[in-house]
Every structure is written in structure tokens, then in C-alpha cells.
């Protein structure tokens, strides 16, 4: 009987040790997960609208738009102003922006704006049913 107690005690010790090892391995596996990719956002500042009619013209020749996601605003002082309600990441390099816009021609509207990253200084943006246009960052045009 004494011998059975020893085996039982040893089996219990081995079982506890195995449980501890398994929980350590599971915790280690959870900590090895890949970090989430950094979310893309266009830089705040002035962007020129490239009409896509040929080689990229210099910023001085492009219609200026102000993209200020930090201030929840997208505008062209002469044509429209949009107040951003919500920004949703649809992919690592694309956004959905829900905004309330006031346009000189069409008045007030609720719009969905869809910017998609091209590179560090430009993106494509589609909204209001228009075709997708390229916007180029123009830091010297404030």
C-alpha cells in the first residue's frame, strides 16, 4: 500500500509538471503573434489633384485640396468643405471616410470618400460617383 502511495504521488507530480509546461508553451505561442501592420493615413497638408492627362505636372499647376484627417477635415476652399464623421480602415493601404460635405455646386450631402495609397506622397481617391483621381502631396503650397 505504501508503494502505491509513492506511485500515486509521483504520478500526481508528473501530471502537475506537464500541466505547467503545457500552459507555458501556450503562453509563449500567444506572445509570438505578429504585430499588426501599421495603419496607413495620408499626411495632413495640401494635395494637388492630378487630372491624369499626361506626365505628372508640378504642384504649382495642380488644383489644391487640404487633407487634414487629424482635424477631421477635407476641403478645397473654393469648392467644398467636408467634416469627417468616421474613418474606417478597409485594408492596410485603404480607407473609407464618412463625411458631411458642403459643395458650392451641389449643396450639403453625406458622402463616402475612398482614398487608397499609391506611395508615401500620393494616393487615389474616389467619391461622389466621380472617377478615381490621383492626389499628390505638395508640402510647399500652404
For 5, 58, 77, 134, the CA distances from 137, given in Å and listed in that order, are 77, 11, 17, 10
- If you write DSSP's letter for every residue of 77-141 in order, what string do you get? TTTEEEEEEEEEEEETTEEEEEEEEEETTTEEEEEEEEEEEEETTEEEEEETTPPPEEEEE-TT-
Check if the beta carbon of residue 94 is closer than 8 Å to that of residue 88. Answer: no
Span 34-87, pLDDT tens digits = 666 678 999 999 999 998 877 778 888 888 999 999 999 999 988 899 999 999
pTM over cut 0.85: no
Where does the pLDDT of residue 127 fall: very low under 50, low under 70, confident under 90, or very high at 90 and above? Answer: confident
Nearest to 74 by CA among 93, 98, 92: 98
Q: What is the pLDDT of residue 124?
A: 96
Amino acid at each position: 500500500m505504501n508503494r502505491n502511495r509513492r506511485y500515486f504521488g509521483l504520478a500526481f507530480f508528473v501530471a502537475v509538471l506537464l500541466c505547467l509546461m503545457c500552459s507555458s508553451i501556450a503562453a509563449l505561442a500567444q506572445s509570438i503573434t505578429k504585430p499588426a501592420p501599421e495603419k496607413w493615413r495620408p499626411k495632413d497638408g495640401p494635395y494637388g489633384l492630378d487630372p491624369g492627362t499626361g506626365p505628372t505636372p508640378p504642384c504649382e499647376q495642380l488644383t489644391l485640396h487640404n487633407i487634414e484627417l487629424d482635424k477631421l477635415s477635407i476641403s478645397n476652399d473654393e469648392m467644398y468643405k467636408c467634416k469627417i464623421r468616421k474613418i474606417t480602415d478597409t485594408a492596410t493601404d485603404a480607407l473609407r471616410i464618412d463625411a458631411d460635405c458642403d459643395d458650392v455646386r451641389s449643396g450639403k450631402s453625406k458622402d463616402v470618400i475612398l482614398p487608397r495609397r499609391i506611395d508615401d506622397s500620393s494616393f487615389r481617391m474616389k467619391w461622389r460617383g466621380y472617377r478615381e483621381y490621383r492626389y499628390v502631396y505638395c508640402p510647399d503650397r500652404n
